[in-house]
């Protein structure tokens, strides 16, 4: 599977927003976007006038890279959201939020979405008491996510307990930090997506 292997901080600088791709480092003064809040490259400081299409494209790219999804996979999410009842943009964000790797990140069991994806791939979690290793699984109301007993002493998992206390948990999830256990108590709504995303621009882009 294709994956991005270059410096992640370049992505934040390219998109002009802090995407929190490197976990706790993004909350410190070492964050590259805080020190150089302009696009990477020789002409990064030059401000360019953007067309409507460019604005829509950048919004889509920002959202896609924040969740760590490839282009075709992101387009599939949009097509499914467009076929569902309700507002297409909100359906899209709800589906992205309900990915297993994002849910684990939001529960605080990982410091970043990329780390959550890796932990899922390595089989460190169970979903409803069954071991899972597919990051793109869609969680449902009532699902219980738990760290496997044999992996609870892992340094990464131990660090996660501190993350839970510091970051908090969204309203659609319930977490028991000491037990390293979380539960989906509702479907995520638009208000639960705390990052500033203008989903209408994405809808307009794909509707052309």
**Among 99, 149, 97, residue whose Cα is nearest residue 124:** 149
Q: What is the pLDDT of residue 199?
A: 92
> Within 10 A of 36 (CB to CB), how many other CB atoms are there?
14
Would you say residue 3 lies in a domain?
Answer: no
According to the model, what pLDDT value does residue 36 have? Answer: 63
- Looking at the DSSP bridge assignments, the partners of residue 99 are 138
Residue 2 lies in a domain: no
Are residues 83 and 131 located together in one domain of the fold?
A: no
pLDDT of residue 33: 53
Whether residue 111 sits in one domain with residue 60: no
**Residue 65 sits in the same domain as residue 124:** no
Q: What was the pLDDT predicted at 29?
A: 64
Please answer whether residues 104 and 133 qualify as being in contact, where contact means their C-beta atoms are separated by less than 8 angstroms: no
pTM for the full model? 0.82
Q: Tell me the C-alpha to C-alpha distance, in Å, between residue 189 and each of 64, 107, 124, 181.
A: 18, 16, 28, 22
Residue 131 CA to residue 148 CA, distance in Å, equals 8
CATH number assigned to the domain comprising residue 158 = 3.10.290.10
SS3 (DSSP) at 176:
strand
Is 70 exceeded by the pLDDT of residue 113? yes
129 plus 184 within the same structural domain? yes
Average pLDDT of the residues in 11-27: 60
Same domain, 53 and 116: no
Report how many domains make up the chain: 2
Whether residue 142 is found in the same domain as residue 180: yes
For residue 83, tell me if it sits in a domain. yes
* Res 6: pLDDT: 56
Q: 34-48, 84-98, 118-132: which has the minimum mean pLDDT?
A: 34-48
Q: Give the integer Cα–Cα distance in Å for 109 and 162.
A: 9
Helix (H) or strand (E) holding 181: strand 181-184
Q: Identify whether 131 is part of a domain.
A: yes
* Residue 129, in any domain of the structure: yes
Average pLDDT along the chain? 82
H-helix or E-strand containing 175? strand 173-176
CA angle (70, 28, 9) in 5-degree steps: 30
Q: Residue 35: which CATH number?
A: 1.10.1050.10
Check residue 173 and give its pLDDT: 93
Which pLDDT tens digit goes with each residue over 159-203?
776 766 667 788 999 988 778 899 999 999 998 888 888 899 999
What is the CA 122 to chain-centroid distance, rounded? 18
Same domain, 90 and 108: no
153 and 81 assigned to the same domain: no
CA distance 139 to 131: 14
The answer as to whether 1 is a domain residue is: no
For residue 17, the enclosing domain spans: 8-96+195-207
Residue 147 counted as domain residue: yes
pLDDT at 150: 85
Question: Minimum mean pLDDT among 23-37, 53-67, 76-90: which range?
Answer: 23-37
Q: Do 16 and 90 belong together in one domain?
A: yes
Q: Are residues 41 and 122 in the same domain?
A: no
Whether residues 73 and 51 fall in one domain: yes
What pLDDT is stored for residue 16 in this prediction? 61
pLDDT digits (tens, 9 = 90+) for 77-107: 999 999 999 999 999 999 999 999 999 988 8
């Amino acid at each position: 599977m294709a994956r991005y292997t270059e410096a992640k901080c370049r992505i934040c600088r390219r998109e002009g927003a802090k995407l929190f791709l490197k976990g706790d480092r993004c909350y410190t003064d070492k964050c590259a976007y805080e020190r150089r809040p302009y696009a990477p490259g020789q002409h990064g400081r030059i401000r360019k006038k953007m067309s409507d299409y460019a604005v829509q494209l950048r919004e889509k790219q920002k959202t896609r890279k924040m969740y760590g999804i490839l282009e075709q996979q992101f387009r599939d999410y949009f097509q499914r959201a467009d076929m569902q009842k309700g507002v297409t943009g909100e359906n899209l964000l709800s589906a992205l939020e309900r990915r297993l790797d994002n849910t684990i990140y939001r529960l605080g069991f990982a410091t970043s979405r990329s780390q959550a994806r890796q932990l899922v791939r390595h089989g460190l979690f169970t979903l409803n008491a069954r071991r899972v290793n597919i990051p793109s699984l869609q969680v449902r109301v009532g699902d219980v996510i738990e760290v496997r007993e044999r992996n609870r002493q892992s340094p990464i998992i131990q660090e996660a307990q501190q993350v839970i206390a510091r970051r908090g948990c969204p309203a659609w999830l319930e977490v028991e930090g000491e037990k390293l256990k979380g539960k989906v108590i509702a479907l995520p709504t638009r208000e639960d997506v705390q990052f500033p995303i203008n989903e209408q621009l994405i809808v307009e882009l794909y509707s052309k």
